[in-house]
């Protein structure tokens, strides 16, 4: 009876609650916004990315060689100076964050064939189908600089993109990006195996 009396008096009903549309202004809060800022330190569910090396490919450490590169980069009057400084202050990981097993390589090959082979081709020479149709040719993964690049650098390029290569952070989860890097290393090794192994 009480509920009926309240409805009859024009009181608010539970089924009809006032609500703001996204980013609609509000006179209730002093800043005039209905959308409230996140509490400091809030992390989206499933995104507590505490292991920065795993999620960025960077170690955060600095060795003598990379420090020297950073110093030289800072002194050189060219556009690559910033790259030298970045390498000197935050070098890339040299090791994989997990053991490389046949299962890891199999998954890496599967992901590579889906996302990378269209440009880099199945062997990594940079002659993929998209190149045959007139698009920019990527470098061969078998170039000396890429064969000697740290694994964290390869992970970073997949994550952030480079030149005309787009980033794949939203399409490929971090663990799969590392697996692709492992497979790329196996491709590189397959084309440049030491002579004693070929016997």
How many structural domains compose the chain?
Answer: 2
pTM: 0.67
Together in a domain, 116 and 153 = yes
Together in a domain, 127 and 179 = yes
Together in a domain, 85 and 120 = no
Last residue within a domain, chosen from 90, 110, 140: 90
**Residues 41-70, buried b or exposed e (16+ Cβ, 10 A)?**
eeeeeeeeeeeebbbbbbbeeeeeebeebb
Contact between residue 167 and residue 57 where contact means Cβ atoms under 8 Å apart: no
Per-residue tens of pLDDT for the chain, all 199 residues: 445 544 455 566 777 777 888 889 999 889 999 988 889 888 888 777 788 889 889 987 655 555 555 555 555 555 555 555 554 455 899 999 999 999 999 999 999 999 999 999 999 999 999 998 999 999 999 999 999 999 999 999 999 999 889 999 999 999 999 999 999 999 999 988 776 755 5
Last residue within a domain, chosen from 90, 105, 132: 90
With respect to residue 28, please indicate whether it lies within any of the assigned structural domains.
Answer: no
Which domain does 182 fall in, by range? Answer: 92-192
Together in a domain, 157 and 114 = yes
With respect to residue 114, please indicate whether it lies within any of the assigned structural domains.
Answer: yes
Together in a domain, 114 and 67 = no
């Amino acid at each position: 009876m009480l509920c009926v009396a309240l409805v009859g008096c024009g009181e608010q009903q539970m089924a009809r609650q006032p609500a703001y549309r996204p980013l609609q202004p509000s006179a209730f809060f002093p800043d005039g916004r209905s959308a409230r800022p996140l509490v400091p330190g809030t992390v989206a569910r499933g995104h507590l990315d505490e292991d920065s090396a795993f999620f960025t490919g960077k170690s955060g450490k600095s060795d003598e060689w990379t420090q020297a590169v950073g110093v030289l980069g800072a002194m050189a009057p060219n556009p690559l100076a910033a790259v030298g400084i970045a390498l000197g202050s935050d070098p890339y990981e040299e090791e994989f964050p997990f053991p490389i097993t046949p299962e890891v390589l199999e998954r890496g090959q599967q992901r590579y064939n889906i996302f990378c082979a269209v440009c880099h081709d199945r062997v990594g020479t940079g002659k993929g189908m998209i190149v045959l149709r007139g698009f920019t040719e990527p470098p061969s993964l078998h170039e000396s600089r890429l064969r000697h690049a740290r694994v964290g650098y390869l992970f970073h390029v997949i994550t952030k993109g480079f030149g005309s290569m787009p980033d794949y952070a939203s399409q490929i989860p971090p663990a799969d990006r590392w697996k692709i890097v492992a497979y790329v290393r196996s491709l590189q090794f397959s084309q440049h195996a030491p002579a004693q192994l070929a016997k």
